[in-house]
Structure 1
Amino acid sequence: MKARTTTLRIAGAALAAGALAWVALGGVTGTSPKDVVAAQSIADEGPGYAIEDGAYPNADKILAEQKIKLKSGDGHILLAECTGAPELMEVFSHANEKICFRVTGNKGYLSLEIPAVFGVKGNDYAAQVQMSTGSEEKTFSVGKNTWTAVGETADEQGRDFMLLEIRTAK
């Protein structure tokens, strides 16, 4: 008896949903094509879709105030205040002194531009930094929780390197 009651309830709910859909689509007598077009145009004026382009939030403000060009990323490597906390990744630059990043999640990616970078102190993540000098690009592996010489300090010619990307993984 209980199974039959449940089946009747499900069938009744389906019938009601079908009737509502029929009414919404203009199946009721007296609904003109003009009314349907009006309803569609109102729906078309609603808010658009949010499209995530990966652009770093407030990048223009950060560039103006701190001279750090943050381009895009996956949201797992974020600019942070340098507090000396061991979970922060620290980037050392002649142009900006020390810049810190908080890393979250299992992996992270950040595209940026910081000139004259000469060292990176890693955190609990394995990291790689992509850098360039002139037309030459180099990738440096950053040790976990240690200071790693990159750019000028790892270059035999002592050239300035621009930091272009940071990639991290747990």
Structure 2
Amino acid sequence: MKSRIRFAAQPRKRFLTRALGTAAVGALAWAALAVGLPGGSPAEAGTATTVAGSAPGYAVENFDYPQADKILAEKNIQLKRGDGHITLADCASGTGQLEVQARDKSKVCFDVKGNSGWLTLELPSVYLIRGNDYSTQADMTVGTEQQSYDIAKNAWTPVGESADDQAREWTLLELRTSK
């Protein structure tokens, strides 16, 4: 019978030891706050400071094309905004890129990723666009007139001046893609 009493008393002893240990740690922490932290007065120890003013702000996506100024200066291509799924790329055959032919430039190529994408830009004198595996629409303008073209998949589609009976110079304003 003694063994049962001993066994029942051991959990109480552990509980009391833990409770006293926790109380001692709590009392030391309370005493440190009441007296103050080393190097500071008791009044300073209880003073709260805000860090919100020094913390970085929220990151807000504005969809501006990264390094657009640099691309405009180096390649004379004005890229404005997009969702990051249609990006300017070096032209490489067999890569499934969108290819745009403009009179003032050789070929301008774009990589397309994801299920859908959009890119606003200003690329003058566009007359031909080669699609890829995506359904692609191109919005273009001349003067006050606007036209939207459905680009054939994996084939060249005449757009702008090559599709205009007056052969006017059209500017490519937006590309939209979807799978």
Shift of 1:147: 0.4
Q: Which ranges of structure 2 fall in alignment gaps of 5 or more residues? A: 1-28, 35-41
Which structure 1 residue ranges, 4+ long, deviate > 6 Å from structure 2? Answer: 30-34
1:149 aligns with 2:161: no
TM-score (structure 2 length as normaliser): 0.74
1-side partners of 2:163 and 2:139: how far apart? 13
Rg: which structure is higher? 2
- Give the one of 132, 135, 145 matched to 1:136: 145
The answer to whether the 8 Å contact 1:67/1:96 transfers is: no
1-side partners of 2:63 and 2:45: how far apart? 42
The residue aligned with 1:54 is: 63
1:35 aligns with 2:47: yes
Query: Which region of structure 1 is more displaced relative to structure 2, 81-90 or 117-126?
Result: 81-90
SS at match of 2:47: helix
The residue aligned with 2:5 is: none
2-side partners of 1:162 and 1:84: how far apart? 25
Shift of 1:44: 2.2
How does 1:63-78 map onto structure 2 within 5 Å?
Answer: 63-78=72-87
2-side partners of 1:55 and 1:135: how far apart? 25
Shift of 1:32: 6.7
SS at match of 1:119: strand
How does 1:88-107 map onto structure 2 within 5 Å?
Answer: 88-107=97-116
Shift of 1:85: 2.6
2-side partners of 1:33 and 1:156: how far apart? 81
Shift of 1:61: 0.3
Shift of 1:76: 0.3
C-alpha distance after superposition, 1:2-26 (max 9, x if no partner) = xxxxxxxxxxxxxxxxxxxxx9xxx
Seen in structure 2, the aligned counterparts of structure 1 residues 82 and 35 have a Cα distance that, compared at 3 Å, is same
1-side partners of 2:149 and 2:67: how far apart? 28
TM-score (structure 1 length as normaliser): 0.78
Seen in structure 2, the aligned counterparts of structure 1 residues 162 and 35 have a Cα distance that, compared at 3 Å, is same
2-side partners of 1:84 and 1:144: how far apart? 15
1:81 aligns with 2:90: yes
The residue aligned with 1:158 is: 167
Percentage of identical aligned residues: 46
1-side partners of 2:127 and 2:135: how far apart? 18
Seen in structure 2, the aligned counterparts of structure 1 residues 115 and 47 have a Cα distance that, compared at 3 Å, is same
SS at match of 1:62: helix
The residue aligned with 1:45 is: 54
- Aligned pairs, number: 141
- Which letter maps to 1:93? A
